[in-house]
Structure 1
Amino acid sequence: MTPRDPSSRAAPRVSSLAAALAAAFASSAFAQGAHPALQETVVTATRVEQPLSELVSDVSVIERETIEHSGATGVADLLARLPGVELTRNGGIGNSTSLFLRGAETRFTAVYLDGVRLDAQSTGGVMWETIPLAQIDRIEVLRGPAAAVYGSDAVAGVVQLFTRKGEGRATPFVSYGIGSRRTSKTQLGVSGAIGAFDYSVGASYEQSRNFDVRTPNVKHNPDDDYYKNSAANVRLGWQIGERHRLDFTTLENTLDSGYDGFTYDPLRPVDDRNRYHLRASGLTWTAKWTPEYTTRLSVTDSNTRYETVVKNAVPDYVTQTRLRGYLFQNEYRLGAHLFTAALERREDKLYNPALDEWSTTIARERSQDGLALGYGYSAGAHSLQVNLRHDRDSEFGGKTTGSAAYGYEFAKGWRVTASAGTSFRAPTLYQRFSEYGVAGLKPETGRNAELGLRYADAATTASLTLYRNRVRNLIVFDYDATGCDSFFGCYANVGRGEYKGITLAASHSFGDVTLRGSLDLQEPRDKDTGHLLARRARVHGTLGADWRVAGWTLGAELQASGRRWDDAANTRELGGYGLVNLSASTSFARDWTFTARVDNAGDKRYQVARDYATAGRTVYVGLKWQPHW
């Protein structure tokens, strides 16, 4: 295929984009129709199951049906369609991916898979490209700091991912799809329950020729950077009488993807490869001692390995993180009151071998012990949530965080909320002990405040959230730093970041049509320089519609983003863009479902990272067989 030039089409201006999306928000907020039930429960806000309608926090939920109809290839691509979320990637699927929640760095979002913490002790934050969307059944996204509940890292929010849970009669499923660039996806699995036991087993394989991930202005290997991904998961449950339950979960994923390095010799072309391996496992015992008192004890373990190689050669870079977690959660309900207390321990290990004369070997570990207390109240028009947590890091000593949130229903369907909280993230072992590291780095600390207004009835939901999150001791890579082992520079606490903005979101159903939209106006800035943070737009949003007609579900969606800067100095501009995605699905025979999707239907040429290409128009069609007993 011919690489795309992002300058070939005009980028939307921020003002016109904001006006268009604001108008779309208004129309979707005040149309007429039906809306899903409002009593859906979530666990992410407080680590305790609560009705979504009672939450003071800003939470979004994505269910399996939405995931399947989305046609998204990766978890990050799906999340980027939510309010307050942006994505940037160095090329195609399987390459380095960052997710900005309310404009904050990837490392400021804590990520869990079936309760298992995922993180990388290299540059920090989850490697989004390692999580297989095919195995995910449900996603909950909490926007806003939650360190007082989860400890280190939850500076901007929390993402909880869940695999399928077995129930009822054994239900197998098989799906297969093909798409542009010789893409193919195969999924199969079975879930169900036998007496006190429930189970879910799934596997998937995906491959694609993909496309050349670099733009033609860069010297590189002009090949198609294909990827292959294979994953499997098992989730088991055992209900022991009425009071006790055991749950076990494990997931494994292997990803091999192409990228083009910074050096290239046409006379000796090479095929640069990323290789990832993720394993996440957890065992949980839940005991309901009385109708009011419940405990949960869990042990979790995750292992993330990343290496770069020239095909069939010895790796030239390797990093491996192992994270072990222990949690003892207590929950006591007394009428409208909810009391929680948790003891938690986290153990991080990083292995990074020296593979050449310029690098150093890292074999380091650390631990954090935390005590978290919480109080919640929900009755009538009032909701209150207060949390306090103290963590003791084996390297940095003690750190206390807290949060308080209040919600008031001042009229039928209308609620106003206010919250404030503190947070922190300890520097990674790589940031401290690699050849670019500084052992004396301090933890990054944050202070957040937000106000919200929400409306919900049987047909419509709408929300407006104002937030400001200030982070001190922001860790950046300082190319001018002296006194470290690398002449390229090293990490340093030199930054102060401020993430502030407004998020509007709405959905409305009338008859067989559902409209939805969101708009984000934000100012993620480096307070020391006044510059906007790299690769984050001041305005972005989505507008979508779904229509059920003659046995079909038809969908159309606009994803739009304003211009942004590729560098911290704000000298290299990335143009804004708008993408149109189309989808259609139908059950054409008993137990059979057909799905079709066209992403970037207008074949828009754009970049989210300078000198890296993005996919043009992409077509995908698939079939799924699943019996409906």
Structure 2
Amino acid sequence: MSLKTRFSLVALALGAAFSATAADEVIVVTGDRFDSAPEQQLAVVNTIERVEIEQLNPKSVVDILERLPGVSVTRTGGTGQSASVSVRGANSDHVLVLVDGVRISSATLGSVSFSSLSPEQVQRIEVVKGPRASVWGSDAIGGVIQIFTRKLDQGQWFASAEVGSDAYRRLSAGAGVRHGDGRTSVTLSTEQSDGFDAKRDDETDDDGYDRITAGVSGEQTLNDRWQLNWAGQYSTGNYEYDRQFGGNEADFDNFYWSLGTQYQQGDYTSKVTVGQARDYNDNFRDGTPDHSIYQTRREQLSWSNQFLASDMLTLIGGVDYYTESVSGDYDKDERDVLGVFALARVDLDAWLLEAVVRYDDVEKIDAETSYNLSAAYRFGNGWRLSAGYGTAFKAPTFNDLYWPGSGNPGLSSETGKNTDLTLSYNRDGYNAYLSLFRNDVEDLIQWAPTGEQDENGWDIWKPANIAEAKLQGVELGVDFSTYGLDHQLAYTYLDAQDETKDEPLLGRSEHEFDYSAAYAWTQWDLRLDYHYQGKRKDKDDHFLAPYHQLDLSLGYAFADNWQVRLKANNLLDEEIVSNGNYFGPGAEWFLSVSYTQF
């Protein structure tokens, strides 16, 4: 079996799926909320499946995402430290992140705690490029990342142990059970590391971490029309970090759960899902009584419907409602968000057309109407050309609006306008696409002087909608096989400009390149991954040097269901720095043994 990333290029990038075999069934959910074949979607979607995640042997979810075209990662140290993800140059909080359909971003910062997510819990990841606010609402200016947790059936189970650099150790296990016409899987993982000195300062202590993650996922068929499904995950742990002022250690306890039902009769399908997510961090300095606690909670309800009106016409629509609340001394600590959307897709043989519109009412802020218009034309043998235009928005966070002493309740939402043109080819074992994109983002929130002064004569600064950015570039993905060797190639050129200051945006590289080659024979498999990160503007006129990262993964199945794997990261031992204030890891090694019964 080929072990490779699936670049499911659909609609705006129609085609180009990195698939294990031609017969494998690829299903995309995030594009329009329903299980659909890639060729029926109108969005650029990259998909990574469990089989490749195991070969990559990542230590964090961002290690997986960084391999995808158009996706950039900025780290503040190693695995246990915070990291941000950018899609096509958009801000990290301009990417909506879902786990099993549940929003998991912090309502105070707008960021996602990727360090609390364990790759052992992940079954697959879908990354949708471009604005999808018309389907999902706030935050989806640059795209949507949806993480699906592992699902095991009766008799399927796994257990794994691993050790590695910086006193890294991990144990994980999972099993599935059947109950009538349903199944439930339970997974558990625990890992810890002493870490390394992450920050460039006078403090030279190692910054380690530990985390425990437990997950459950299941479904139950009640009859030929009704089905129940459920999912949940709990992560708890601790991480150390270096900061000039305040704490140097933090505990986290994050969880989410969802419960849904699906009704299907003929060409009509309806889904109702309720869920909740909590993000909790307790920051402190070891040995002192001072603590800074940040906690946000989000209760969610969604109702989605699909009607296959004919072989040509598909109608999708629904309602989303969620309540966000925060703990702390905020002027306002709760708000409601209500969204309604409708989608129509027409398949006319050579042509595929789609229109989506959505209305969101964000309490105490404003209302936003988002839309997408897309069209694809199929021509020749395996060639497709598609184009689209869409709008999106990001609602201000509680910190932006109500942080004690510095919040600005008069803020409006940040907005984006995106254009995309993609040519793709999918035939004779070659999957390739070339995508041109542009995203104009306006009303960006930045700190600015208010023109007032405090009692000491100092200027008062508050967040304001004053900035603009232009994100444009080219994205290329190619997948092919020769003589049993599977190749993946991805390249992104990005021109990300701060239009207000007429200078490059911080933390963006003009050039990123990825190449991987995988080969399997008898009981062995070998994978080589190369990542090039171009120079990034760090601050003022300082640029971070470009770097090359070369990783190697070697697996050997020494008995039925048993496998040992050696993973070596950064074989060239380069200084990998994506944030100038922090060190990157040097060369690393990891050794794992696993038993899998499938």
Give the TM-score, by structure 2 length. Answer: 0.93
Shift of 1:591: 1.1
Match of 1:370 in 2: 339
Range with greater deviation from structure 2 (447-456 or 313-322): 313-322
CA distance in 2, matches of 1:100, 1:77: 13
Pairwise CA RMSD of aligned residues?
Answer: 1.9
Shift of 1:477: 3.1
Match of 2:554 in 1: 584
Shift of 1:447: 0.5
Match of 2:532 in 1: 560
CA distance in 2, matches of 1:405, 1:38: 27
Does structure 1 residue 325 correspond to structure 2 residue 296? no
- Please tell me whether the aligned partners of residues 30 and 128 of structure 2 are also in contact (alpha carbons under 8 angstroms): yes
Paired letter, 2:531: Q
Does structure 1 residue 381 correspond to structure 2 residue 350? yes
The change in CA–CA distance for 1:68 and 1:196 in structure 2 (over 3 A counts) is same
- Please tell me whether the aligned partners of residues 332 and 402 of structure 2 are also in contact (alpha carbons under 8 angstroms): no
The one of 129, 138, 141 equivalent to 1:155 is: 141
Does structure 1 residue 285 correspond to structure 2 residue 261? yes
Paired letter, 1:205: T
- Please tell me whether the aligned partners of residues 357 and 370 of structure 2 are also in contact (alpha carbons under 8 angstroms): yes
Shift of 1:405: 1.0
Shift of 1:208: 0.5
The change in CA–CA distance for 1:173 and 1:606 in structure 2 (over 3 A counts) is closer
Paired letter, 1:309: F
CA distance in 2, matches of 1:453, 1:245: 39
The one of 78, 100, 119 equivalent to 2:86 is: 100
CA distance in 1, matches of 2:24, 2:476: 19
Q: How does 1:330-345 map to 2 (within 5 A)?
A: 330-333=305-308, 334-345=310-321
Does structure 1 residue 252 correspond to structure 2 residue 227? no
Range with greater deviation from structure 2 (557-566 or 315-324): 315-324
Shift of 1:38: 6.6
Does structure 1 residue 213 correspond to structure 2 residue 213? no
Q: How does 1:112-261 map to 2 (within 5 A)?
A: 112-167=98-153, 169-215=154-200, 218-219=201-202, 221-261=203-243
Range with greater deviation from structure 2 (327-336 or 415-424): 327-336
Does structure 1 residue 460 correspond to structure 2 residue 430? yes
Shift of 1:449: 0.5
Paired letter, 1:400: T
Q: How does 1:190-589 map to 2 (within 5 A)?
A: 190-215=175-200, 218-219=201-202, 221-263=203-245, 272-288=248-264, 290-311=265-286, 313-333=288-308, 334-353=310-329, 361=330, 364-434=333-403, 435-478=405-448, 480-483=449-452, 489-567=461-539, 570-589=540-559
For each residue in 1:54-77, what CA deviation from the matched residue of structure 2 results, as whole angstroms up to 9, or x when unmatched? 333110111111111112111112
- Please tell me whether the aligned partners of residues 39 and 52 of structure 1 are also in contact (alpha carbons under 8 angstroms): no
The change in CA–CA distance for 1:483 and 1:197 in structure 2 (over 3 A counts) is farther
CA distance in 2, matches of 1:517, 1:488: 49
For each residue in 1:21-63, what CA deviation from the matched residue of structure 2 results, as whole angstroms up to 9, or x when unmatched? xxxxxxxxx9xx9954474111111111111233331101111
The change in CA–CA distance for 1:337 and 1:432 in structure 2 (over 3 A counts) is same
Q: Give the aligned length.
A: 576
CA distance in 1, matches of 2:500, 2:293: 34
Does structure 1 residue 602 correspond to structure 2 residue 578? no
CA distance in 2, matches of 1:254, 1:166: 23
CA distance in 2, matches of 1:558, 1:482: 50
Paired letter, 1:56: L
Paired letter, 1:455: Y
Shift of 1:130: 2.3
CA distance in 2, matches of 1:72, 1:363: 40
- Please tell me whether the aligned partners of residues 109 and 125 of structure 1 are also in contact (alpha carbons under 8 angstroms): no
Paired letter, 1:291: G
Shift of 1:82: 0.4
The structure whose residues are more often strand, as a share, is 2
For each residue in 1:227-254, what CA deviation from the matched residue of structure 2 results, as whole angstroms up to 9, or x when unmatched? 1011101112111011111111110001
Give the TM-score, by structure 1 length. Answer: 0.88
Range with greater deviation from structure 2 (110-119 or 480-489): 480-489
The change in CA–CA distance for 1:90 and 1:315 in structure 2 (over 3 A counts) is farther
Q: Matched residues, percent identical?
A: 27
| Runs (5+) with no aligned partner, structure 1 | 1-29, 265-270, 354-360
Range with greater deviation from structure 2 (331-340 or 50-59): 50-59
For each residue in 1:225-284, what CA deviation from the matched residue of structure 2 results, as whole angstroms up to 9, or x when unmatched? 1110111011121110111111111100013111111149xxxxxx81122221100010
Paired letter, 2:210: K
Range with greater deviation from structure 2 (45-54 or 306-315): 306-315
CA distance in 1, matches of 2:164, 2:519: 24
- Please tell me whether the aligned partners of residues 161 and 592 of structure 2 are also in contact (alpha carbons under 8 angstroms): yes
Paired letter, 1:325: Q
| Runs (5+) with no aligned partner, structure 2 | 1-15
The change in CA–CA distance for 1:36 and 1:352 in structure 2 (over 3 A counts) is farther
CA distance in 1, matches of 2:440, 2:323: 28
The change in CA–CA distance for 1:556 and 1:343 in structure 2 (over 3 A counts) is same
Shift of 1:98: 0.8
Paired letter, 2:195: N
Runs of 4+ aligned residues of structure 1 deviating over 6 Å after TM superposition are 484-488
